[in-house]
Structure 1
Amino acid sequence: MLARKCRVRPVSKRAFTTPRFFSLNRDRKRSESISDAEWEVRTGRAITVLTETLPHFFSTGLVLSIDKSKLPDIMDASLHSTRNGTGVRSVVEGVGSLITGRARTELVHDSEADELETHGDNEPIYSSKIQLFYTPKGFERSLHIQGAPLYITSSVFVRHTLNALYSDLKVDLLNARTTPSPPSSSSTSPSSLGKARDRSLSMRIGVSGLARVSGAKTEWEVDYTYNFSPATGLILIHTINSIHPAPHESVYEAFRLGFGRLGLGFNPQPGADAQGTICRGSTPRKVNDMDS
């Protein structure tokens, strides 16, 4: 079944944007580092984007970057004071009105480049080397996607496929929690900030929709975790921990075949981790701290 085309309306002013393409820059020095304060700001901004925009995923798609110039100054201050899941929700309440219209997601054209490039005030929240892991419960196969091109493309495929199979798709943010919490203002020594560059965001969402064929309502609860790069503060690993009720194997197989039809490939050999691959039975590899 072919996915319906969604009409995209241009929007001139919005805080969260999805660029026409995700530009990469292979010439930027891999050793270039950011300060601990900037790392805190980047992770905080990414958390805000995720918690505020994922509930609109099926209508707007994946939001890849943030426009710093359109965010209120109070937001950056609030991000440093965020300590737990409820803090994340309080931050996003103040910026919800800045999201308007539709965002669009397109492919990364240079899959061999190393670094994501900023454009003006737009800054990416995802690493060019992002990895996605998902092992369905009770299944021997695992899904491993590596590289921004394939990650972005897979999100487009999932969104369009589910929109074709279900109507009235909705996403509810049930819980959001950061671990460990951002450092307090009383613990700002260089040593303590350096050790704090280990952060993840755990989220639970509820997804519901009406099957277009039968009209039956379908609901899932999805738990997943985002891990941030210690070097750049960008999202480096996305792990889907569970989907309840678990998808039937036929659904998993349908997505596998769909990825193949898109020319993305499916490697049945375990341990394959080349950039831009889907692997079956692969083991998550440790990502170098300098990965961006």
Structure 2
Amino acid sequence: MRLRFVLSQVGQGLSRNLAMTVSVALVTFVSLTFVGAAALLQMQIGNLKNDWYDKVEVSAFMCPESSAQPNCAAGEAGQEQIDAVGELLKSDALAPYVDRVYFETKEEAFEAFQEQMADTVWAQSLTVDQMQVSYRVKLVDPEQYRIVADELEGRPGVEIVVDQREQLEPLFNILNSATLLSLGLAAVMIFTAVLLITTTIRLSAMSRRRETGIMRLVGASNLFIQLPFMLEGAVAALVGAVLAVGGLWLAVTYLIQDWLAGTTPWVQFVGTGDVLTLAPFLVLAAILLAGLSSVVSLGRYTRV
């Protein structure tokens, strides 16, 4: 009987404040969509790091015949300088950081260049003698690339040290900035949702002061009086959370898996499984948001 009464009160409250209820659901939907998007972006960054950081190499290019670099003032790197760099990379000092060392001769560099740039004018004009000898170093921990790069930079015969991670960092910085932007917008929208939920519940409580007064007279507890109002906010927020999960699922399915994944198959993108992993947290966040807003706003209007 009590449950039926509570549910009837919830239904009446939602129908009386339908416009505000819809507003709460939409604001919750937008705010949780931003929260979910930020979480998915962080998952995507994690996927990219797992995929690409394992392939990160530090490349040391030895001086060619003509170079403007100060280290190459003496001309092309000699065999002693090349061997010295190779011995350094295989030394005990760098052993904890270096996984493998690949040595590329001029001939191998020329062959690789011809394969990659076959349709360009440069491929027709360059010769083997113009290529550079180089070392490519695969790291044990790509996070410690700076240690190996510092050891190689400035050594005699080394023209330049290229760290592939530095080429990836701008992408990760952009994605992290997008995450922060999403979280900032989510914070604004969550604050708006709290205000809307609070206003909606207060309006509902004020419109039913007579009913709550009767319930106080017959000895109803605070919880029994406040429960219908709390459930109204929870239902509206829950609808918003479901819409947010559905929106994220559609975006990941059609924009990422069907479109981006098809154009860039070598990248491991987030999938619908990640959205489903986030779903319980978004629903829980919506319920907590509504619950806390309800408790704060109900004290004045339903106090026994």
Q: How does the TM-score come out when normalised to structure 2? A: 0.23
- Larger proportion of helix: 2
Highest Rg: 1 or 2?
A: 2
Q: How does the TM-score come out when normalised to structure 1? A: 0.23
Of structures 1 and 2, the one scoring higher in RCO (CA 8 A, sep 6+) is 2
- Larger proportion of strand: 1
